[in-house]
Amino acid sequence: MPVKTLIAAAVLGLLPGASHATNLMYMPFETVLSDAIRAGRLDGSVKFYLTGNTPPGVQQTLRRDVVSDLDTNGFNKSDHDSCEWVLQSNLIALQAEAKRVGANAVTNIVSFYDGHVRKDLNTYECRAGVFVTRVALKGDLVRVP
């Protein structure tokens, strides 16, 4: 086998492992949410509540267990910055879906990485890697007064 082929095979064999989001981080949810609203990435028309933080009033559930599972390029970014960016991307997607069905809140939000539920009142789970950073969320689209 030519040397170039062996080198290429070795490099390509290493990339999938390096690209997986492997650094597990628990990040503050409200800080990123506030930053996204302040920056205009979220318009404030849809409220977001991690599980255990319930909005006041009676909720009308429009869709249960809506999942947003997005990733971002983590290359040349700090884990912290890429985690915040990909959470904002997930919140933007959830806001769009909520508005599409007439909801004004997303409740019972949990981290949902690879289908595993992680509940927390204040933080979300982020997996950062050399090339990819990923956040997965699951929640209910509801209408509140």
Quote the mean pLDDT of the chain. Answer: 89
Q: 134 in helix, strand or coil?
A: strand
pLDDT, mean of residues 20-43: 93
Question: From CA 87, how far away is CA 77, in angstroms rounded?
Answer: 15
Nearest to 139 by CA among 114, 105, 116, 104: 105
Question: From CA 50, how far away is CA 29, in angstroms rounded?
Answer: 8
Alpha helix segments (H runs only) across the chain: 3-19, 29-38, 79-101
Per-residue confidence (pLDDT) for residue 2, from 0 to 100: 57
